[in-house]
Amino acid sequence: MELADEAGIESVTMRELGRRLGVKAASLYNHIAGKDDLLDGLMNLALSGIDIALDGLDWKDAMRRRAVSAREVFARHPWAAGLIDSRDRRGRESLAYVDRVLGVLIRAGFSTADAANAFLVLDSYIYGFERQRPAAPEGNGTDGTGEAREILAAIPEGEYPFAARVAAEFSGKPFDREAAFEFGLGLILDGLERSLGH
Amino acid sequence: MELADEAGIESVTMRELGRRLGVKAASLYNHIAGKDDLLDGLMNLALSGIDIALDGLDWKDAMRRRAVSAREVFARHPWAAGLIDSRDRRGRESLAYVDRVLGVLIRAGFSTADAANAFLVLDSYIYGFERQRPAAPEGNGTDGTGEAREILAAIPEGEYPFAARVAAEFSGKPFDREAAFEFGLGLILDGLERSLGH
DNA sequence: AGCATGTACTAACAGTGTTAGTATGTCAAG
DNA sequence: CTTGACATACTAACACTGTTAGTACATGCT
């Protein structure tokens, strides 16, 4: 996980991992079944950082909490989301997770079909959000203003006026990703609440 | 694109592609700069299938049309979404796309910041949705009922009651992904509309 | 006729995951 | 203390991957 966070998931090779551990690549096979096994473990390790202690909360608070916590995980480990959809999601661990979430929704009054729908919609948003991250800027800070400036400079004069306006807007002030996430999350949760009362 | 659709993006190797074209791998380099070039082209080819002829439509209709069309593309080419976030999104082509969409929103009355927000929220959902697809079932049809049955059978008796209920629900009838997508899309669009009037 | 261009080829390189076979250290039983 | 079993590390190799250098050939223009 340290290796993936620091150097990117593409740097997680058997030989590189071995180098970090002071060991040759082949020796790793005494401990794991193969690279798939390694990546499965990595995925579960990341997923275990998502808060699903949802008992006793209102369904909306529970879903919001889960979503915010999931986004933090995906922001901290940008490789996690990509890892998830390149492999099977049907492990025991994720089944428990699914059951927890569905339980909250069904107990709140959603039909089984509606609960499945709500789950899918919410997770689509959650999993999709941190992917909408522009490629990391080179030598700038982490607020993205430098990158916005860079994009702005690359836009041909007058050809893309609206993109230019938006880039100009965010070259001055940082973009608050967390706030943007919660804005969209609120839209979805409010909509689900409305759909609950027919 | 045929190769990626039929055999999966991981089968798109220089040697395999050459085999399909009746040519050795090295010969491909007379036509493309490298594999990155190839994948960029593949991505743009897929993206060009998204309908962005949005002029003259109400902003909601325009966004809905774009979203539905994008989902169809991602459903038809499951590798496309993954390709997009593994490479730089700042090409001329995608810049035109971005400008088009932002233009619709800003003209509809969104501030530049709100338009950027709306864009991000919408695309998070769009890009995230087709990833929430369970691994393809082996010998079953495409409606997923066989897979739901299979999952149901694999759930330990009584351990995950809510997951079991949902699996049971959908082992009887097919799951309409398109309807589910439009349901969530509607929630978001309605929410954006409400936020437009403060 | 000669030459330039485009395109295919073979061979090779460094890198990937993985396995077989071998050596080494540690620790428990006799 | 010796012996043996076990865990673990190693080297060497295999079949892949993307990519480049150098070469051959066929087409078509001057």
Each residue of A148-195: pLDDT tens digit?
Answer: 787 787 777 689 999 999 999 998 888 899 999 999 999 999 999 999
Q: Is residue B66 domain-resident? A: yes
Within 8 A of A43 by CB-CB distance, chain B residues are none
Q: Are A19 and A76 part of one and the same domain?
A: no
Within an 8 Å CB–CB cutoff, is residue A126 touching chain B? yes
pLDDT at B2: 97
**Strand D nucleotides in reach of protein CB atoms, 7 A cut-off:** 7-13, 16-22
- In angstroms, what is the C-alpha Rg of chain B? 20
**A20 and A118, same structural domain?**
no
Same domain (yes/no): A95, A17: no
B30 touches chain A (CB under 8 A): no
Please indicate, yes or no, whether residues A52 and A6 belong to a single structural domain of this protein: no
Which of B135, B160, B191 shows the shortest C-beta gap to A88?
Answer: B135
**Same-domain check for residues A25 and A43:** no
A136 and A45 in a common domain: yes
Cβ-based neighbours of B186, under 8 Å, separated by 6 or more: A191
Mean pLDDT, to the nearest integer, of B74-99?
A: 84
Distance of CA A52 to the CA centre of its chain: 15
Please give the structure tokens belonging to residue A36: 């798939």
CB-based contacts of B64: which residues, under 8 Å, 6+ apart?
A: B182, B185, B189
Predicted local distance difference test score (pLDDT) of residue B155: 80
Of A113, A163, A192, the CB nearest to B99: A163
Is A47 in the same domain as A132?
Answer: yes
In a domain, B18, yes or no: no
- A25 and A45, same domain (yes or no): no
Q: Tokens 């501030």 correspond to what residue? A: B111
Tell which residue, B10, B4, B142, has the closest CA to residue B73: B4
How close is the nearest chain A Cα to the Cα of B19, in Å? Answer: 25
User: Does residue B168 belong to any structural domain of this protein?
Assistant: yes
- Asked if B29 and B22 count as a contact pair (C-beta separation under 8 A), the reply is no
Total number of domains constituting chain B: 1
CA A114, CA B165: separation in Å to the nearest integer?
12
In a domain, B44, yes or no: yes
Q: Which residues of B touch A88 (CB under 8 A)?
A: 135
What is the distance in angstroms between the CA of the first residue and the CA of the last residue of chain B?
A: 45
Joined together, the tokens standing for residue B193 give 């509309």
Q: H/E element holding B66?
A: helix B59-76
Query: Are both A54 and A147 inside the same structural domain?
Result: yes
Q: Scan residues 70-99 of A and list those with Cβ closer than 8 Å to B.
A: 82, 85-86, 88-90, 95-96, 98-99
Please check whether residues A152 and A68 belong to one and the same domain: yes
Quick one: pLDDT at residue B138? Answer: 45
Return the H-helix or E-strand segment holding A112.
Answer: helix A112-129
SS3 state at A171 = helix
Q: For residues B103-122, give the mean pLDDT.
A: 96
Rounded to whole angstroms, the Cα distance separating A101 from A99 reads 6
Domain assignment present for B9:
no
Q: Which residue of B has its CA nearest to A102?
A: B162
**Which residue in this structure is represented by tokens 């880039």?**
A167
Q: What is the CATH number of the domain that holds B140?
A: 1.10.357.10
Q: Give the least confident one: A63-77, A126-140, A176-190, B95-109.
A: A126-140
Confidence of residue A142 (pLDDT cuts 50, 70, 90): low
Separation CA B103–CA A166 (nearest Å): 10
**Which residues of chain B lie closer than 8 angstroms to A188, CB-CB?**
184, 187-188, 191
pLDDT at A137 over 60: no
* Strand C–CB A12 distance below 7 A: yes
- For chain B, helix (H) and strand (E) counts, in that order, are 10, 0
Task: Search chain A and give the residue with CA nearest B100.
Answer: A162
Q: Do residues A163 and A122 both lie within one domain?
A: yes
Question: Is it the case that residue A133 has pLDDT exceeding 90?
Answer: no
The boundaries of the domain holding residue B80 are: 32-196
